[in-house]
Amino acid sequence: MLSNHIQNGIGMASLAWSRLPGTEEAEVHDEADLASTSCGNGVESLDYEVIENYAYREEQAQRGKLFIGFYVAMKWFLALLIGIGTGFAAIFINIAVENFAGWKFSATFSIIQTSYLAGFVVYILFNLVLVFSSVFIITQFAPAAAGSGIPEIKGYLNGVDAPGILLFRTLIGKILGSIGSVGGGLALGKEGPLVHTGACIASLLGQGGSTKYHLRSRWLQVFQSERDRRDLVTCGCAAGVAAAFRAPVGGVLFALEEVTSWWRSQLMWRVFFTSAVVAVVVRTAMAWCGSGKCGHFGSGGFIIWDISGGQEDYSFEELLPMAFIGVIGGLLGALFNQLTLYITRWRRQYLHKKGNRVKIIEVCLVSLISSAISFGLPLLRKCSPCPESEVNSGIECPRPPGMYGNYVRFYCAKDNEYNDLATIFFNTQDDAIRNLFSAKTFHEYSAQSLLTFLVMFYTLAVVTFGTAVPAGQFVPGIMIGSTYGRLVGMFVVNFYKKLNIEEGTYALLGAASFLGGSMRMTVSLCVIMVEITNNLTLLPLIMLVLLISKAVGDAFNEGLYEMQAQLRGIPLLESRPKYHMRNMAAKEACRNQKVVYFPRVVKVAEVVSVLRSSKHNGFPVVQGNRETLVIGLILRSHLLVLLQSKVDFQHSPLPSDIRGGSIPIRHNFSEFVKPVSSKGLSIDKIYLSPDDIEMYIDLAPFLNPSPYIVPEDMSLTKVYNLFRQLGLRHIFVVPRPSRLIGLITRKDLLIEENEDPATMELQSTSVRPHRRDRRVLGRDSEAEHPLLNGLLVQD
Amino acid sequence: MLSNHIQNGIGMASLAWSRLPGTEEAEVHDEADLASTSCGNGVESLDYEVIENYAYREEQAQRGKLFIGFYVAMKWFLALLIGIGTGFAAIFINIAVENFAGWKFSATFSIIQTSYLAGFVVYILFNLVLVFSSVFIITQFAPAAAGSGIPEIKGYLNGVDAPGILLFRTLIGKILGSIGSVGGGLALGKEGPLVHTGACIASLLGQGGSTKYHLRSRWLQVFQSERDRRDLVTCGCAAGVAAAFRAPVGGVLFALEEVTSWWRSQLMWRVFFTSAVVAVVVRTAMAWCGSGKCGHFGSGGFIIWDISGGQEDYSFEELLPMAFIGVIGGLLGALFNQLTLYITRWRRQYLHKKGNRVKIIEVCLVSLISSAISFGLPLLRKCSPCPESEVNSGIECPRPPGMYGNYVRFYCAKDNEYNDLATIFFNTQDDAIRNLFSAKTFHEYSAQSLLTFLVMFYTLAVVTFGTAVPAGQFVPGIMIGSTYGRLVGMFVVNFYKKLNIEEGTYALLGAASFLGGSMRMTVSLCVIMVEITNNLTLLPLIMLVLLISKAVGDAFNEGLYEMQAQLRGIPLLESRPKYHMRNMAAKEACRNQKVVYFPRVVKVAEVVSVLRSSKHNGFPVVQGNRETLVIGLILRSHLLVLLQSKVDFQHSPLPSDIRGGSIPIRHNFSEFVKPVSSKGLSIDKIYLSPDDIEMYIDLAPFLNPSPYIVPEDMSLTKVYNLFRQLGLRHIFVVPRPSRLIGLITRKDLLIEENEDPATMELQSTSVRPHRRDRRVLGRDSEAEHPLLNGLLVQD
């Protein structure tokens, strides 16, 4: 009787289990409790729903449809806010960087009219101050903001919450740090950090602001489940890419292909909306800046490096050199990944352990070297005479110093000469790329200059990678790639003299090939390349080059982000199971585990001792007198909350609902929600008096009544797929069943909502005892027939 | 002892279970056995893997890595073939359509110089012959080729295999039928059918050719699992879109967003490759045709309706009229879906039941009406004088009849007049769209003409939809949308006189809005619109319009394809569970089921009687004397194969492996592979002698030893997600477990492949008792160090 009663209780729990405040899309992963394992740095996130069903149950029944509407509207409103926020952050970074760089170059150029040495010193100092400010902010204030942040975000969306990555201080550090490091002329970009920035904005908005800085708004706090937060962060990533490259479709695809681990088709639509908002915001701001209100910023259009005036057509003879570019991209990209892996590992193991001072000195040294090379090397280069310009080409030669554009005059003797190395090296990265991509500038650069630049910049990019500043790899990758692309283009122009070939086209393909070879993205990169250059006719060529470079790169190592994630201790679950898993059964994966069970009503002392002695994040809960039954899973973090709050302690070892009355609701659900990017509670920090220790807790209201289960001899490949595709955190491995309740097929899941009127009623009532009794009776009567009845009734 | 032995056997079976010939990506859905339910028209597909493990086991062990390499290479080779095949099919259809239409218009134009009546008759007859040939082919030869085919392909990829959709005859019917129906001037497009064509090509290549027409190649038959076939069909869909719109990225996104139900990130890369191949093939063929070798075909470039010369910028005042276009699109699109639903339902219930003759007459009638309207209405329209043309605009007015372009001269009194209605109505659809999209043609059309065209064409499109010819809805949608778009554009031009507004831009937005309102696609449609018009600057506007039109449309009904799929009895499993499922437990879904079990060794008579009396597609298999154990699932289709072949019948009621020796391999695995698009075997067609009936079958080698299981009181929402996300066909509902073998967490699944050298060896050996023991030892000693130790070292 007791057992039966409890069974009912559990049945109810599991029924109510999925009645969330999140509704429109809340169904998809009920146990989408992304969380890290016990791997030190990551702290487990918790699945909010577990609690919800008990406490919100009544509330929900009243709120009903109204709350759902509010919830859905809030999701869209937040998507809008994320778009606007990320758009403004991007604009702010861009304006700041362009202005700092602009002042720097104007000052330097005006000083070198009198003395090159003084100009050199000013240039170096300017860079040093900017870079120092960046590294100072990062090391002192926001250590999690170093690097591009994409591996960490990828990890977060895969289920590993590295500490600090989504905090308000990280956001601020990322924005200010990128301005310093990019404005300071290091060989890195601001695009990767913008993805992280977008994710931070999304996460902060999702939790209603920063807790620490008392910037929370209560009415924004509707999103407390991990799934909702993850969705928002996905939107944020897409917004970041959309803002960084002004490529809204590319942003959606980047989020889809590169960042997320669990994609839901409903999400696409909202991510798309966020990207569109970003595009509108960025475009509006740029239009406003176009009239010169933003200082040095404002020359670029919505398309960053427009090459639509370039090559319109291509012939078959060109495919071979283009394929060659793909191969180079694959090789250099794989080499880049490998070198940065070694150098980052070395940094982490030796250099960065020595403290922040070493980090600061390191970055300042890199800045000095970068400045010296970018200023000094063009000095050594002999100037070239300007080409005979056509009247209407719109290309001026030489440019007056301090202005954007091709054919920069730098340390030249004659008036109509330009310095080709300075044109790409002694310039902002955006302008350098524009110059490399530019059409109608045949042989603007000598092969010698391009090679010099390639070698030096490649080395600088490798060395700079992994220093303690926010650093993206897109722009350096584009610069490296477009250099050798243009080099190949020069040879092709010489070789196929009669064809209408633009060197800029080859530079674009080179850029695509290097990014493909290093980051191993496909569709998203392709779309981003098209969107940033506004040239659709080259699409099949970009695809070809990407295919080759990715294939070549894959032959050597993994993608940049995967390798970096691994190095940083972010254990990403790949989308495919390892090959050897097909030879293993589920039980082999958990062979040496000693399963620690909790009884339904457990003594506090026992909980404490188990939590102290084991590191597991989840514990099965059993109950029953003669026959035990596994009734669910309780999370470590929930137990800690229960221990800390103490309100659920009881003196009786009997379940609370049996002692009469319903389960009292004493908890506010937000107590169970782990703040993003924090370590959560620890058992050592909870003080319990000797009296407390002697009391009991009824775990039933707090457990997940039906985690996914697999039979013990299921292939580990299948288990992996289940785990990975549903985004689970715990799977119970159970013995082979001895009987079945039934089989579920497609037909059983195609129940129409209005099929029987009783079902409709079910939705609005949550407690419906007599219906359930009927069902119980039904099952009882079934039990009288032997199990294999079906088999016996044969003719 | 017996039980133990068997248990081992099962353990091995489940271990070997996933050792497929498919390897690179074969892991993802082990039980990705897509199949229909018992819903009449659909026939169940089978999961090949079930058998494989026993028969291929030895073979695989020998083949090893070599076969894997071959298998992966074959996948890429097939992707290449699909790309080439679809590209050529598209080129063939395009050339044929353009030539038929070209001849038709030239003939008509040359005749109307003398008599409009004779021209009218010739025009009508020409159309009638083309349309008749199309409907004749469809009704007599390939009934499955009618319609767009996209709902059916969507169903196939969702798991419902409608009969006949992927046959060779369907492919031929689709290609020839589209030529007739599009060339014959009906209000439909050739783009939807091209998606179906691509899918057919992919499916036929995947099974190594057509069985019926003896076009099979043995060495192409490596892809016999449902998953591989589905992947190929996905590639084919993307190739179809890429070829139809010359939009490779759009193709990938269409396959991702609209068609597939289970997307795997590995697939993206291959789908992308296929699209790139299509792009290259189409581009090459068009370049070849450009020199006039393909008759009337060849004027278009790689971008279908290039509007890159159009509006470059937009101002904020324009956002309101653009939002208005979105609203109109949503309303008209939803209305279109609803009207076509009613009309198709009526057709299916009354008209098409009366046989093929009625279908033919119906289509011919529609053709007559379409011809009469498109010829007759422009006759009623007064001609307008040509605008004063600029010298360099490249726009000629009036055009000589029979040529492409704007300002068609038709039934005009004076020489410098043109007929605006004829320009869009009495023209091929591609030219009409190009004219509607055209820039620098202010007020080419009067509002009256546009309205007339809108009403007439909308009606024609609704009436034509659902007739027995291949019919796509993209081009009609674009025509309808661009008409009202241009209409709005005209008003905007009048209203904001000073702004630089092109009516063609509004036409483009109108087209996007109607497609968004009807098909409810988002990202893919957006990319397709950009790719077909080569205008990236309008991207944010297209996004805005799509957002609005989809939202408006969603307020009324579902998308076109979903509604049509529902109507055709294709029960698509949506990506989210129904709302009421959250109140149901798993056992409620299978409440009225009586589970029919088979024992491991079963009498043939019993199998026959169960198969006769029940309609289930899968049966659990149990074994054991005192204690029963569910040892797996056997599929109906596999049982039928076993009954038909009889080779596995045995006299003894004991399992074969107990009687000594290993399980003999008597089957060729291809026997178990259900041919695509067929009904498969039926129990009524299998003859068994009285002797056969008395024999036994040991089912162990043929069963799926570990289907996914759920506890009985798991929320149905969770069950649905499991079913949907993993693409399952059967889930066992089991009682709550009484104990656990263990818990699987992320940590347990992060086993490195090269963690111990023994693992590598494991891959090539299938029977390895002592090897496994060593591993056990290895893991024991490891257990002292936590697995993720290395990862924990953080600074």
Q: Which two tokens stand for residue A293?
A: 């209100």
Distance from the A598 Cα atom to the nearest Cα atom in chain B, whole angstroms: 12
pLDDT tens-digit readout, A270-301: 898 899 899 888 888 887 887 777 777 765 55
- Dist. CA A91–CA B530, nearest whole Å: 25
Predicted local confidence at residue B544, as pLDDT: 87
Query: Which of A267, A741, A763, A772 should one mutate to test binding to chain B, selecting the residue with the greatest count of B CBs within 10 A?
Result: A741
Q: Are A210 and B505 spatial neighbours (Cβ–Cβ below 8 Å)?
A: no
pLDDT for residue B155 is more than 70: yes
Q: Which two tokens stand for residue A521?
A: 């993205």
Instruction: Name the residue range of residue B276's domain.
Output: 65-152+170-289
Q: Which two tokens stand for residue B71?
A: 């298998």
From A249, A269, A289, the end of a domain falls on A289
Examine residue A771 and state whether it is found in any structural domain, yes or no. Answer: yes
Higher pLDDT pick, B228 / B732? B732
Strand arrangement, sheet containing A742-744: A742-744, B731-734, B709-711, A709-711, A731-734, B742-744
Amino acid at A120: F
Place of tokens 């970018």: A374
Name the residue among B284, B744, B788 with its Cβ closest to that of A731.
B744
Q: Are strands B696-698 and A696-698 parallel, antiparallel or unpaired?
A: unpaired
Model confidence at B767, pLDDT cuts 50, 70, 90, reads very low
Helix axes A191-206, A226-245, angle to 10 degrees: 150
Report the CATH number that the domain containing residue A615 is assigned in CATH.
Answer: 3.10.580.10
Average pLDDT, chain A: 78
CB contact under 8 A, B595 and A740: yes
Examine residue B649 and state whether it is found in any structural domain, yes or no. Answer: yes
CB contact under 8 A, B744 and A723: yes
Higher pLDDT pick, B787 / B99? B99
- Dist. CA A490–CA B324, nearest whole Å: 50
Model confidence at A769, pLDDT cuts 50, 70, 90, reads very low
CB contact under 8 A, B31 and A718: yes
Predicted local confidence at residue B507, as pLDDT: 93
User: In Å, how far are A131, B258, B571 from B154, measured between CA atoms?
Assistant: 54, 8, 10
Other beta carbons within 10 Å of A493: 17
In chain A, the number of structural domains is 2
Tell me which H or E stretch contains B649: strand B649-650
- Dist. CA B309–CA B490, nearest whole Å: 18
Q: Which two tokens stand for residue B684?
A: 């009524």
Model confidence at A395, pLDDT cuts 50, 70, 90, reads low
Closest to A638 (Cα-Cα) out of A709, A554, A702: A702
Q: Nearest residue of A to residue B280 by CA position?
A: A540
**How long is chain B?**
795
- Which residues contact residue A147 at a Cβ distance below 8 angstroms, ignoring those fewer than 6 apart? A192, A466, A470, A471, A564
Name the residue among B253, B523, B589 with its Cβ closest to that of A749.
B589
Based on its alpha-carbon atoms, the radius of gyration of chain A, rounded to whole angstroms, reads 31
CA angle B320, B324, B330 (to 5 degrees): 145
Examine residue B579 and state whether it is found in any structural domain, yes or no. Answer: no
| B684-713 average pLDDT score | 85
Phi-psi region of B8 (alpha: psi -120 to 50; beta: other; left: phi over 0): alpha
| A357-384 average pLDDT score | 91
Closest to B574 (Cα-Cα) out of B453, B407, B723, B421: B723
- ipTM of model: 0.79
Predicted local confidence at residue B765, as pLDDT: 28
CB contact under 8 A, A579 and B732: no
Examine residue B45 and state whether it is found in any structural domain, yes or no. Answer: no
Predicted local confidence at residue A20, as pLDDT: 28
Name the residue among B37, B249, B583 with its Cβ closest to that of A526.
B249
CB contact under 8 A, B27 and A721: yes
Q: Using CA atoms in the order B281, B283, B287, B293, what is the torsion angle rounded to 10 degrees?
A: 60
pLDDT for residue B63 is more than 90: no
For B738-777, b/e burial (b = at least 16 CB within 10 A) is: eebbbbbbbbbbbbeeebbeebeebbeebeeeeebeebee
Predicted local confidence at residue A788, as pLDDT: 29
Residues of A with Cβ-Cβ distance to B544 under 8 angstroms: 276, 280
Average pLDDT, chain B: 78
pLDDT above 90: percentage of residues in chain A:
26
Report the CATH number that the domain containing residue B71 is assigned in CATH.
Answer: 1.10.3080.10
Residues of B with Cβ-Cβ distance to A573 under 8 angstroms: 746, 749-750
Which segment, A613-617, B573-577, B607-611, is predicted with the most confidence on average? B607-611
Q: Which residue spans within A604-685 are E strands per DSSP?
A: 618-623, 629-635, 649-650
Place of tokens 């529609």: B366
Q: Are B652 and B696 spatial neighbours (Cβ–Cβ below 8 Å)?
A: yes
Alpha helices for B496-628 (secondary structure H): 503-519, 523-533, 539-554, 560-567, 586-589, 604-613
Helix/strand/coil (H/E/C) assignment for every residue in A529-573: HHHHHCCHHHHHHHHHHHHHHHHHHHCCCCCHHHHHHHHCCCCCC
Identify how many contiguous H helices and E strands chain B contains and give both numbers.
Answer: 28, 11
Predicted local confidence at residue A678, as pLDDT: 64
From A232, A267, A289, the end of a domain falls on A289
CB contact under 8 A, A740 and B734: yes
CB contact under 8 A, A789 and B594: yes
- Dist. CA B131–CA B115, nearest whole Å: 24
Examine residue A618 and state whether it is found in any structural domain, yes or no. Answer: yes
pLDDT for residue B236 is more than 80: yes
Q: Which two tokens stand for residue A152?
A: 């960490």
Predicted local confidence at residue A438, as pLDDT: 84
pLDDT above 90: percentage of residues in chain B:
26
- φ, ψ (nearest 5 deg) of residue A649: -65, 145
Q: Nearest residue of A to residue B242 by CA position?
A: A540
CB contact under 8 A, A276 and B594: no
Q: Nearest residue of B to residue A16 by CA position?
A: B583
Closest to A245 (Cα-Cα) out of B255, B251, B256, B539: B539
Examine residue B525 and state whether it is found in any structural domain, yes or no. Answer: no
Model confidence at B334, pLDDT cuts 50, 70, 90, reads very high
Closest to A88 (Cα-Cα) out of A287, A281, A276, A290: A281
Residues of A with Cβ-Cβ distance to B575 under 8 angstroms: 28, 264-266
Predicted local confidence at residue B25, as pLDDT: 28
Least confident of A507-511, A553-557, A783-787, B379-383: A783-787
pLDDT tens-digit readout, A30-78: 333 323 222 223 223 333 333 334 444 444 544 566 777 788 888 889 9
- Dist. CA B643–CA B407, nearest whole Å: 70
CB contact under 8 A, A741 and B762: no
Other beta carbons within 10 Å of A569: 21
Name the residue among A283, A352, A722 with its Cβ closest to that of B708.
A722
Examine residue A793 and state whether it is found in any structural domain, yes or no. Answer: no
- Dist. CA A131–CA A118, nearest whole Å: 20
- Dist. CA A744–CA B728, nearest whole Å: 10
From A242, A264, A289, the end of a domain falls on A289
pLDDT for residue A317 is more than 60: yes
CB contact under 8 A, A790 and B596: yes
Model confidence at A219, pLDDT cuts 50, 70, 90, reads low
Predicted local confidence at residue A8, as pLDDT: 40
Based on its alpha-carbon atoms, the radius of gyration of chain B, rounded to whole angstroms, reads 30
- Dist. CA B224–CA B235, nearest whole Å: 16
pLDDT for residue B314 is more than 90: no
Alpha helices for A17-115 (secondary structure H): 49-63, 65-112
Higher pLDDT pick, A47 / B170? B170
Q: Which two tokens stand for residue A316?
A: 């078959």
Model confidence at A302, pLDDT cuts 50, 70, 90, reads low
Model confidence at A477, pLDDT cuts 50, 70, 90, reads very high
- Dist. CA A556–CA A267, nearest whole Å: 34
Tell me which H or E stretch contains A479: helix A474-495
Distance from the B795 Cα atom to the nearest Cα atom in chain A, whole angstroms: 7
- φ, ψ (nearest 5 deg) of residue B555: -70, -20
Burial class (CB in 10 A: 0-12, 13-18, 19+), A351: middle
Model confidence at A771, pLDDT cuts 50, 70, 90, reads very low
Q: Which residue spans within B587-635 are E strands per DSSP?
A: 598-599, 601-603, 618-623, 629-635
pLDDT tens-digit readout, B90-119: 999 988 988 898 889 888 888 988 888 999
Examine residue A249 and state whether it is found in any structural domain, yes or no. Answer: yes
**How long is chain A?**
795
Residues of B with Cβ-Cβ distance to A708 under 8 angstroms: 710, 714, 718, 722
pTM for the structure as a whole: 0.82
Name the residue among B15, B283, B587 with its Cβ closest to that of A585.
B15
pLDDT tens-digit readout, B479-502: 999 999 999 999 998 888 777 788
- Dist. CA B64–CA B178, nearest whole Å: 45
Predicted local confidence at residue A180, as pLDDT: 94
